[in-house]
Structure 1
Amino acid sequence: MNYNNAKQQFEKYLDGYDSNNDKVRLKIIHTYGVVHAMEEICHRMRLSEEDTELARIIALLHDIGRFEQLKRFDSFEPTTMDHAAYGVKVLFEEGMIRQFVSEDTWDDIIKTSIAHHSDFCLDGITDPRNLLHARLIRDADKLDNCRVKLKDDLQVFMGASAEEIGAQEITPVVYGTVFKNQCVYSPDRVTKMDYWVSYVAYFSDIYFRASLDIIQEHNYLNRIIDRIPYSNPDTARQMEEIRTYLAELIHTAPGCTW
């Protein structure tokens, strides 16, 4: 198991996709952002060298199914393709995993982590090491998504400008979900503001205290909320209520130190 070898193979895999496409480029940058976030979490948690290397490879491969989704549908929407399931199919049913990791020792951990990284909630994993890595990739993915929401072009991943988003309303179901300490269920999102709220609501699903500390240190909650000018007065008021609630949650949540 060697991350650098896996990275070389990943770069070859990307040759089959148009890196000049804004959405493809966004996902390539995101992939390496998740690797970076994973390295930081593993360092803070003082994980073993083997678990750290394994976690980096999972981060590298976690969104491998996204590229085919974009090639076929030019969309990130889950209704067009289950990118996690497709990634598992390519890697394990078609055998591509051997291009990235020569031994099969860690196959079950890699497969489980990729299969569940974008699930609404993490259920049904009983093996402790499988569960560790499934939780790690979900945290690392969310951490880099903070960078995406702060730096990437809103038109590319939201299909709207900041002004257009902030003029819309938050539907009651999505607003109420935040205060239940739950992620927003994708089909419940109706307006662009619903999507935006879902990007801060996922802080409720951060598992490790190390990840919560990174969120606090980078002030991600406030910076993401403040990226949008909320011209809709009801939306502006609701976003301040969401800010207050989630700031307290992030600060006080015990998290897990493994």
Structure 2
Amino acid sequence: MIDIAHAKQEFEKYLDEYDREDEQICLKIVHTYGVVKYAGEIARKMECSGEDVELAELIGLLHDIGRFEQIRRFHSFEPGTMDHAVFGAELLFGEEKLIRRFVEDDKFDELIDAAIRKHSDFKLEGIHDARTLFHAKLIRDADKLDNCRVKLEASVEAMLGVSEKAAGEGLISPAVWESCLRRESVLSADRHVPVDYWVSYLAQYYDINFPETCEIIEEEDYITRIAGRLTYQEQDTRTKLHILTEDLNRHLEMPAVSVKE
């Protein structure tokens, strides 16, 4: 049995080890609870069992636990500083078995480990158990859903380290635009200027798993709103953002039929 209320209490105790006044820490705390909300919402929309709803919410609660140490050590979200997903999985399931603070039963340890370890992989691969794969897909969708809110509410400086004005300057790097044309997420290594990062935040929505997630993105008009947050200085950049926005919105209108594992 999963006691979400207990898990949240333990998560709050864990957060006491970090500086809650730090803007990046605050951003990730709010994000975590947003992912919990969306994970439960998607699971309920798919008419999952109560156990799977609770499991989805628990994975949402713990998916970014590695981020807090990354911020403390490096004050950065950059993947080059730390693989926060792998670090978080090792923190929970390594020698200390931190996971036992959040859930007593070890029945779902392998599933939770895989979902957290792979939630930020460029592509989701290597999971063969159907239920584990379902939850790995679900956390990726829930994570992206709350990232829509983050991109609209959080300060650009906290996300990118530059002002909102500076984030809209410059041209999109060719490799980043090629990924968009292929309807693929953008490789971290291909991002060179702030506007590349902003475009990559949009391109990740080509990698959505469930129609239920697409429906929420469409209802909130997230793609158009995220693209419109920055003022792009270059005409070429403005043109490409318009093309990307229209194509993403079309792409999300035609999802595959959802299959609940």
- Give the TM-score, by structure 1 length: 0.98
Give the distance between the partners of 1:166 and 1:154, measured in 2 at CA.
10
* Paired position in structure 1 for 2:198: 196
Q: Give me the CA root mean square deviation.
A: 0.8
- CA deviation profile, 1:157-189 (whole Å, cap 9, x unmatched): 111222211121100110110121211011111
Give the distance between the partners of 1:64 and 1:103, measured in 2 at CA.
19
Which shows bigger deviation, 116-125 or 36-45? 36-45
For structure 1, the residue ranges without an aligned partner over 5 or more in a row are none
Give the distance between the partners of 2:5 and 2:72, measured in 1 at CA.
26
Shift of 1:89: 1.1
SS at match of 1:167: coil
SS at match of 1:125: coil
SS at match of 1:103: coil
Name the aligned partner's letter for residue 48 of structure 2.
L
* Paired position in structure 2 for 1:256: 258
Kept in 2, the 8 Å contact 1:212–1:255? The answer is no
Give the distance between the partners of 1:83 and 1:137, measured in 2 at CA.
15
* Paired position in structure 2 for 1:78: 79
* Paired position in structure 2 for 1:186: 188
Give the distance between the partners of 2:113 and 2:36, measured in 1 at CA.
17
- Mapping 1:1-258, distance limit 5 Å: 1-93=2-94, 94-258=96-260
SS at match of 1:131: helix
Going from structure 1 to structure 2, the CA distance change for 1:65 and 1:41 (only over 3 Å counts) comes to same
Name the aligned partner's letter for residue 220 of structure 2.
H
Q: Percent identity among equivalent residues?
A: 47
For structure 2, the residue ranges without an aligned partner over 5 or more in a row are none
Kept in 2, the 8 Å contact 1:209–1:257? The answer is no
SS at match of 1:157: helix
Kept in 2, the 8 Å contact 1:139–1:206? The answer is yes
Kept in 2, the 8 Å contact 1:118–1:138? The answer is yes
Give the distance between the partners of 2:122 and 2:168, measured in 1 at CA.
25
Give the distance between the partners of 2:56 and 2:111, measured in 1 at CA.
10
Name the aligned partner's letter for residue 28 of structure 1.
I
Give the distance between the partners of 1:131 and 1:2, measured in 2 at CA.
22
Kept in 2, the 8 Å contact 1:179–1:245? The answer is no
Kept in 2, the 8 Å contact 1:210–1:257? The answer is no
Going from structure 1 to structure 2, the CA distance change for 1:76 and 1:255 (only over 3 Å counts) comes to farther
Aligned residues: 258
- Give the TM-score, by structure 2 length: 0.97
Give the distance between the partners of 2:258 and 2:207, measured in 1 at CA.
12
